[in-house]
Each structure stands twice: as C-alpha cells, then as structure tokens.
Amino acid sequence: MAFSPRPLEEKMTYFWNLHWTSGISKVRGVTLILNQNRTERQFAVARFDDLVLKISQDPAMLVWLDNWLNRAGRPNENYGRELMELFTLGIGRYTESDVREVARALTGWTVQNYRQSDDYNGATFVDNPAVHDFGPKTILGQTGSWDGADAIRIILGHGDSEGSVSGRFLGAKLWTFFAYEDPPRYVVDELRDVYVSSDHSIREVVRRILVHPEFYEAHTRKTWVRSPAEYGVAAIRMIEATSDFDVAARQLGTMGQILFNPEDAKGWDWGASWMNTGTLFARSTMVNTICTNRGSSGSRFDPGRLLAGRDASTAEKVVDILADRFNVADVSPRVRAAWVEYMNANDDGSRGNWTNTAANVDRKVRGLVHLMLTGPAFHLA
C-alpha cells in the first residue's frame, strides 16, 4: 500500500479488506487468507456480482462464516445473513425468512482438503450436490429451486421503491470511503444509477465518485479518520522513513487493527471509532519508535533530510516547513505557537533559541515530527 505503482488498485483492495476480510484466527490457513486478498485485488473494480460470487466461494470466507458446514436439512445461517446484512444490502432490507432461504440456497458450497496436516492451507472450493438442498425457496419474493449463484443474482438484482438496493448500499459505502460519511441523497441516487446502467460495475461507480464535483468541495477534506494501517503508511511515507514495516506492523494490534484478523464479521468500524486514549497512545508509540531510532536497522528516518535545501534558521521556519509537509498547516495560531515554543524550549521549560545545528536537529526535529504526527490534524485525511 505504501509503495505500489498502482495506488488506486491498492486503495480499492484495502476497501474490500475493510469490507469483509476473513479472520486468520479462525481460518488458520495463511495461504487461504493471502488468496482471498489476491481475489480482492483481481476483482477490486470488476462487476460486483463477479466479486461477490468469488468471495462466496472463497475457502477462507467459507470457513470464516461457516458456510462450509451448511448442509441440506440443518442449514447454518451465518454466511447467508451476513451476505445480505453486511456485504450487499444492509440491515432491514430483507426478512428473517430470506435469511433462512438464502442459507438453504447456499447449502453444498463447501471446501475440501481443509485439514491440519498442511496447516489448513490446502482447502479448495467444492460444490457438493450431496448436501445441497434442491427444494424450492423464496428469496426476496422470487420462488424457484435456487442455488448459491441464483441467490447472489437475486440479492444483487433486488430493488425496492428506491431502486437497486445493492447499488445504493455499495455507492454509499464507497462514497464514505473516498469522501465522507452519510452522503447526500442525490449523490447516492446518482451512484445507484451508474451501478445499474453499467451492469453493476464497481469501476464505473468509483470513477463517478472521483470525478464528482462534490468530491472536490472543501468539506470533503479531512473528514476521514485514518485507520491504523493508513496512519502507519502515511507517517512512514511523509517522513521518508526506511521501508521496513516492522514497527508499524507490530503496533497495528494496539492501534486497533490487526490486518486480516478482525474481531468479527463486520470487519472494523470506520471513522472516529478508531480513536480512543489507548489507540492514540499506540500511535504515539509507533511514531516515537521510528522517530527516535538512531540505529542502523528497523524503521528509521533522517530528520536533517526533511529540512535539506530549505531555510531552517528559525523555529518558525522549521515549524512551517514540517507542517506543510505533513498537511497540518491549517492548525490554529495557538497550536503553531506551541510548536514554536517547543522548538525553542530548554530542558527546564525556559525559553531558549532554536539554531540549526546537528545536535538541535537530532533533539528537536525528531520531537517536533513526533508531535505533529500525533496531533488531531494528522489523524485526519
């Protein structure tokens, strides 16, 4: 994500990761999780139907939400419910009867060779007719002897008085990801229309978002609370740290996001819920570890390089150079003054005078970078 030549592809892969990633703690097979990530990348902007089909037959997902155990006669509702609630329609857009009937349609989609002997990595998808329920089902008002592919087609084709339900659901969620929460109705309507007219193309919905005039309004900026992974990537990129992700990866858990291991099927909540006192301190620990690494291995950066070729002769100038680099120059004058005061402060808190010496750069620029990267403005993008 930090160094890809195709950043939008990575961003969309990350969107799907946040949307429905399966947890390694239950799935266990690392290869299965890696393959799911590859599927998300390969189908990141494909037809939504193709992606949903692939994910519904993905071994990691089949294990994660128990569909591999879903058999005719005694269905397991776990995947059928989340498929509609979390992945495609949203809560309240289906009935409990639909949950049961979709679960029946999905019976038989299972895995083979899921076993401890190869660390659960050998599982492959299989459609097993012996445990499929061939009886008639009624899903969202349509009755037939539906199987899993039929169920997905019916779910994604479902419309109510406001048109395509999955189109509105996906459009609103993508808008939230790229712009801000609770998009205006006219935006959602437009994205739904693009979705329908393009035969459910994710690419076309994303394209519409990125060229939408509303997307370029000032109020669209700095509304997204960076997730821990995005925060780590942004910090590392902006200080031009070495590309070693040891520190960021180690701290992701305490920052609240162990990649590929969400606590439940919902993945992670977005927005301000990333931030609490504990996760804030974890961010501080991550940045401080990198900022104060003066050794020759692990993530580290060169504070002098951030000022190279610039006039860094006063505390004010250093503050402005770095605030601009980190895109936090819009803080209040009082905060800017506090940064300047920090740069000029002696150990006992009394006022000294910043001078651009190697010793001061080592002592104060590292500290200022850490301050700016842990302030409220930098948690937003």
Partner 1 sequence: MPISRRDFLVRTSGFVTVSAMVPRWAVKGAKFFEESVAADFASRTLVVLELAGGNDDLNTVVPYTDALYLQLRSRIGVAANAILPLDARLGFNPVMTGLKSLWDAGRLAVVENVGYPNSSLSHFAARDVWHTADPQLAVRHGWLGRWADRYVAGNGNPLSCTAISQSLPRTLLADNVGVPSFVNLASYQYATDGQYPADRNNQIRAFLVQNGGEYEVANTVDTLSQVGQDGIRSSDILQTVGTGYVPGGTYPAGTLGAGLLLIAQIINANVGARILYITFGGFDNHATQNTDQPPLLTTVSNGIKALFDDLDAHGKSHDVLLMTWSEFGRRPQDNGSNGTDHGTAGAHFVVGDAVRPGIYGNPPDLAHLDSNGNRAIQNDFRSYYGTILQDWLGADAAAILGSGYPNLGFVDRAYA
Which parts of 318-337 interact with partner 1 (CB under 8 A)?
330-332, 334-335
CB nearer partner 1, residue 18 or residue 69:
69
**By CB under 8 A, residue 348 contacts partner 1:** yes
Four-CA torsion 64, 69, 73, 74, nearest 10 degrees: -60
**By CB under 8 A, residue 76 contacts partner 1:** yes
CB nearer partner 1, residue 149 or residue 377:
377
Nearest-CA neighbor of 151 among 163, 165, 137, 162?
137
Among 141, 161, 182, 264, binds partner 1 (CB under 8 A): 264
Classify residue 47 as left (phi > 0), alpha (psi -120 to 50) or beta: beta
Stretch that binds partner 1, among 135-143, 187-195, 300-308, 343-351 (CB under 8 A): 343-351
- Strand-pair partners of 138: 143
**By CB under 8 A, residue 306 contacts partner 1:** no
Nearest-CA neighbor of 101 among 133, 129, 137, 135?
137
3-state secondary structure of 128: coil
Query: Could you tell me if 123 and 61 are in contact, meaning their C-beta atoms sit under 8 angstroms apart?
Result: no
Among 14, 87, 178, 339, binds partner 1 (CB under 8 A): 339
**By CB under 8 A, residue 77 contacts partner 1:** yes
Q: Is 231 exposed, middle or buried (0-12, 13-18, 19+ CB in 10 A)?
A: buried
Measured from the CB of residue 164, what is the shortest distance to partner 1 in angstroms?
Answer: 22
Among 43, 89, 366, 373, binds partner 1 (CB under 8 A): 366
| Tokens standing for residue 172 | 């609103």
Q: In which residue are the tokens 């770095």 written?
A: 322
CB nearer partner 1, residue 308 or residue 359:
359
- Strand-pair partners of 127: 109
Among 141, 211, 213, 294, binds partner 1 (CB under 8 A): 294
CB nearer partner 1, residue 55 or residue 365:
365
Q: Supply the angle between the helices 315-325 and 333-344 in degrees, to the nearest 10.
A: 120
**By CB under 8 A, residue 351 contacts partner 1:** no
**By CB under 8 A, residue 282 contacts partner 1:** yes
Could you say which residues in the range 222-251 bind partner 1, by CB under 8 A? Answer: 222-223, 225
Measured from the CB of residue 3, what is the shortest distance to partner 1 in angstroms?
Answer: 26
Among 32, 291, 306, 307, binds partner 1 (CB under 8 A): 291
**By CB under 8 A, residue 217 contacts partner 1:** no
Q: Is 4 exposed, middle or buried (0-12, 13-18, 19+ CB in 10 A)?
A: exposed
Q: Tell me how many residues contact partner 1 (CB under 8 A).
A: 71
**By CB under 8 A, residue 355 contacts partner 1:** no
Among 1, 126, 321, 380, binds partner 1 (CB under 8 A): 380
Dist CA 274 CA 324 (whole Å):
25
- Mind spelling out the 3-state secondary structure of 320-378? HHHHHHCCCCCCCHHHHHHHHHHHHECCCCCECCCCCCHHHHHHHHHHHHHHHHHCHHH
Among 21, 56, 279, 299, binds partner 1 (CB under 8 A): 279
